[in-house]
Structure 1
């Protein structure tokens, strides 16, 4: 994690604007020293930053961090400095980057391995790329291994991951893709992203009759997880990658899964970035290629100023946000 605290130095230190999460659970715009990259890192002058559900979890204390804390986990801009071991020729390159913190500032430090060249890509879209795109790619292509002919069900279908996962599933040859959303507005929004049908949560699972699915993506948790397991076809795969509804544990019998040939999988992109960042980077590169080739589309639905970050995060927390929202930094 980058240390944004003031330090004494005989060198002249540049000052930047940054958004800080305080002990009052509010976001405040303040002045901080610009950070400098260490070994294996790059410094990025941020143009836009992606807003994601991790911001909600940090604000609500589910991810404990020392406060004051500079949040923001997705940055788009250009490299202005590199640390030891990184080719200086990368300076000036337009990039999109996955960070552990600090993207809601004029300068952020990012691991070089998770900083991808984004030449020719709209910086707003580059910020929207963030964690959702490699996550959606991995859920479909490396975790559940969607095959041609598979039937896929995606919860939170109108969100950033959901809208991309549907596109990746279609590209992988899925025979039918069903989305589950919270309300009719979200259903209307999600439908064009490749869904064959979109149902509201109150209709799940009743409206599915006897339908079964080879792959189910579940970031919801609670009773939804049990209902999803019941809808898996033999040899079906349910992947858990969040707990939007509740953090209460869901108990599942491994014996029952074995007898029914069902698999319960998990995916944690943040952990993957720490244990095997090269794997996450490989998926990010593949996803970026599909994006630049026009095979998938990131829908930027809202752009906020730093002073309005509280509003943006609250809309994400209460389910009012759709697609991807971003923060304009410079």
Structure 2
């Protein structure tokens, strides 16, 4: 089968590999489209220990063509969107059956764009911070995959005001399409004298970390909740004063979708199915802005790493 591997020289190359066989609790999916995401950048940078050559790709949409021991054969032939541990940039990928979701009737490009970002955004709004009607929400990386979905889920949950933080004016213009009430740049957020960025929020979603995380805590209203779900700023520590949090009723919460999917897959899957239902019903939408051929994956990941993409990029696998 055709597959794109990450080689020892940090380049993605199209090659031929043996077709994988699903193990216990797994399915084999004939991939139509695969989602391209930040994890592919991190793998290339060496942040995850994988043996190379490695078939990357963590999001696949296609049809089930095989089931492993312990998996219901009724899944055979079903259109699905699958979240994988790797291998999605290939004509066939194996995925945990628990992370493979029915996508019958959903456009396959949209099914590929669903990815990890959509259930992550759903959980951040509904199970981590539990946004209530009328609450004020601040979303960092507002133009990113999670950010553009989180604003839609927050709006559906009844949030009263949603502000996004972006890198520049171009990203602000893009993020505005998803329903933010206001958008500020990172520089404006850092300036507490700015009336918009200096307001208090009931919920802050932070994938950045470092000084941004500490600034977010300072912007929390009493009983506000800050959700940490990434560290785009690197490993810069953010020291939290637990006594100060206690006296103001504020909370710092963490969320790791990959860890949750491994330790409590049924809990992660429940949120993912709810998020997928919202996509199918049309109340939220991932935005596919670029489609690449398999041979062009290296360019696609490089553009993502350089911050030159907006919205979701997907890889076309099957004709």
Scaled to the shorter chain, the TM-score interval is over 0.9
SS of the equivalent of 1:38 reads: coil
Q: Would you say the 8 A contact 1:159–1:321 is kept in 2?
A: no
Q: 1:299 aligns with which of 272, 281, 287?
A: 287
CA distance in 1, matches of 2:68, 2:255: 30
Moved more, 194-203 or 160-169: 194-203
- Spell out, residue by residue over 1:167-208, the C-alpha distance to the aligned partner (whole angstroms, 9 max, x if none): 000000000000011111110111121100011111114223
Distance 1:267 1:204, change over 3 A: same
Pairing partner for 1:192 from 177, 194, 206? 177
Given candidates 123, 127, 138, the residue that maps to 1:153 is 138
Q: Which of 8, 12, 16 is the matching residue for 1:31?
A: 16
Question: Hey, what does 2:252 align to over in structure 1?
Answer: 264
Following superposition, the deviation at residue 58 of structure 1 comes to 0.9
Q: 1:276 aligns with which of 230, 247, 264?
A: 264
How does the TM-score come out when normalised to structure 2? 0.97
Give the match for residue 129 of structure 1. 114
Q: Give 1:246's match in structure 2, choosing from 234, 253, 257.
A: 234
Distance 2:63 2:2 in 1: 17
Shift of 1:38: 1.0
Q: Please, which runs of 5 or more residues in structure 2 have no aligned partner? A: none
Q: TM-score, normalised to structure 1's length?
A: 0.93
Q: Which residue of 2 aligns with 1:227?
A: 215
Tell me, yes or no, if the aligned pair for 1:38 and 1:83 is still in contact at 8 Å.
Answer: yes
Contact in 1 for aligned 2:189/2:197 (Cα 8 Å)? no
| Structure 2 residue 42 is the aligned partner of structure 1 residue 42 | no
Aligned to 1:204: 189
Q: Which segment is superposed worse, 244-253 or 212-221?
A: 244-253
Query: Equivalent of 1:308, from 289, 296, 304?
Result: 296
- Please name the residue that 1:290 is paired with: 278
Gap runs ≥5 in structure 1? 1-15
CA RMSD of superposed structures (Å): 1.0
Corresponding residue pairs, total: 315
Alpha-carbon distance in 1 for matches of 2:309, 2:82: 22
Q: Cα 1:101–1:210, aligned 2, differ >3 Å: closer, same or farther?
A: closer
Tell me if structure 2 keeps the 8 A contact 1:74–1:103. yes
- Name the SS of the counterpart of 1:248 in structure 2: coil
Deviation by residue 1:184-235 (Cα, 9 ceiling, x = unmatched): 1110111121100011111114223641000000111121111111101111
Question: Where does structure 1 differ by over 3 angstroms across 4 or more consecutive aligned residues?
Answer: none
- Structure 1 equivalent of residue 50 of structure 2: 65
| C-alpha contact 2:30 2:92 (8 A) present in aligned 1 | yes
| SS of structure 2 residue aligned to 1:204 | helix
Q: Distance in 2 between matches of 1:158 and 1:321?
A: 10
CA distance in 1, matches of 2:208, 2:224: 18
Instruction: Give the counterpart of 2:317 among 320, 325, 329.
Output: 329
